[in-house]
Amino acid sequence: MSYNISEIVSNFCIEGNVAAIIPYGSGHINDTFHLKNANPGLPGYLLQRINHHVFENVPALMKNVQLVTDHLKEKLTGIPGSNPDKEVLTIVSAKDKQCFFCDETGNYWRMYCFLKDTKSYDMVLTEQQAYEGGKAFGKFQLLLSDLDSGLLYETIPGFHNITMRLDRLNKAVLDDPKNRIKDVLTELSFIIERADQMATIMNLGKEGKLPLRIIHNDTKFNNILLDMNDHEQCVIDLDTVMPGYVAYDFGDAIRTIINTAPEDEQDVTKIELNIPLFKAYAAGYFEYAGSFLSDTEVKSLSMGVLLIPYMQGVRFLTDYIEGDVYYKIHSPEHNLQRARAQFELLSKLEKNYDVFDQIIHNTAKKYIQITTEIK
């Protein structure tokens, strides 16, 4: 799809003029463009078309983003040495003063200040990057811990509700709109074998043993901007910031950090676990999250490490069966390939469960006075 980006941009309050429009990033949902300023002394911008098929109420979503970014900025303002404008996204208003613009075809657009001299990584390369990532998401959860979660609109209902995800898969299997079930029987058996065990976190939540906190809900490593020295700078992609269990954020970050291969690796023999990166992420995370996590939450983190690749595989497979209606794909079997890669990762994680459970336990002990034995 091509858009008249200059026309869209003319509806936002920007300084200077746009010299270049560059498609940007590798997200699966929104379309992103980097706008370079003709005047190098003035800021660049990041323009995004928000996928309103995925996010059905964009005005409410943007209200969340405004609320969250205002809160983060206010909190950082009180911390010496912090720079809220670099460490938090800044929304650029549309000319009608709204924090988004809806064009005549019904597409929704938003703009942020472009944070220059930053990098996001699809694959983590060093322990320092992993450690900084852990700090970024730990700090994010800590800074949002005193924001009233009741103020946040649920941008995608049941986003990490595994029961709902499995129900949707089940419906897709029964409908089989593209006649693809015959190709995925092995994957379906893999899913069914683990379904009961994967409800553990939700059940602990229902029993009141895990608190709902404001979490990010999309802690892929490329949703952190690091500075040019690989220090964490800013958590981005705030569309799914909603109440959830901390294990979801931990599991999703580990899913992308620990894997030696890309999320959609076709040759699954390349999928191995990089345990030192896991350890480094946990160390960074506990530096901040250690101040608020309960014993049960600490224990739940290892379960999150298994749950999120499982749920992600279920989501990719469902989209494959439904005919690729949700995620952007770059080849006909892309979603199937992604699902298979997640399940391979999960198999490896299962075999190493005790190893990373112990790492979490040992890291937690440095920061938390554990009152009950968490193993």
Binding site for Mg ion (CB under 5 A): 27, 223, 237
Shortest distance, position 125 Cβ to ligand GN1, whole Å: 18
Measure the CA–CA gap between 188 and 218, rounded to whole angstroms: 25
The string of DSSP letters for 330-372 reads: SSTTHHHHHHHHHHHHHHHHHHTHHHHHHHHHHHHHHH----S
115 is a site residue for ligand ADP (CB under 6 A)? yes
What is the chain's Cα-based Rg?
21
32 near ligand ADP, rule: CB under 6 A: yes
Stretch that binds ligand GN1, among 21-29, 74-82, 136-144, 340-348 (CB under 6 A): 21-29
The answer to the question of residue 235 lying near ligand ADP (CB under 6 A) is no
Which residues between 163 and 222 bind ligand GN1 (CB under 6 A)?
Answer: 218, 220
Collapsing DSSP to helix, strand or coil, 95 comes out as coil
CA separation for the pair 162, 281 (Å, rounded) = 25
Residue closer to ligand GN1 (CB basis): 69 or 335: 335
The H-or-E segment that residue 100 falls in is: none
Would you call 259 exposed, middle or buried from its count of C-beta atoms within 10 A (0-12, 13-18, 19+)?
buried
Choose from ligand ADP, ligand GN1, Mg ion, none: what does 312 bind? Cβ within 5-8 Å by kind. Answer: ligand GN1
Angle formed at CA 190 by CA 188 and CA 193, multiple of 5 degrees? 105
Cβ closer to Mg ion: 37 or 217? 217
Q: 176-215: string of b/e by CB count within 10 Å (b at 16+)?
A: eeeebeeebeebeebbeebeeebbbbbebbeeeebeebbb
Residue closer to ligand ADP, measured from CB, 117 or 183: 117
Task: With contacts defined by CB under 6 A, name the span among 94-102, 164-172, 222-230, 290-298 that binds ligand ADP.
Answer: 222-230
Residue 38 to residues 13, 95, 155: CA-CA distances in angstroms?
Answer: 15, 20, 35
Whose Cβ is closer to ligand ADP: residue 302's or residue 335's?
335
Any idea of the CA torsion for 344, 350, 351, 355, to the nearest 10 degrees?
Answer: 130
Q: How far is the CB of 65 from ligand ADP (least distance, A)?
A: 10
Q: Which does 76 bind (CB under 5 to 8 A by kind): ligand GN1, Mg ion, ligand ADP, none?
A: none
DSSP 89: -
Q: Which of residues 343-372 bind ligand ADP (CB under 6 A)?
A: none
Q: State which of residues 14, 28, 48, 319 lies at the interface with ligand GN1 (CB under 6 A).
A: 28
Q: Which of 120, 145, 161, 294 binds ligand ADP (CB under 6 A)?
A: 120
Residues lying near ligand ADP in the complex (CB under 6 A): 24-25, 27, 29-30, 32, 46, 89, 112, 114-115, 118, 120, 222-223, 225, 236-237
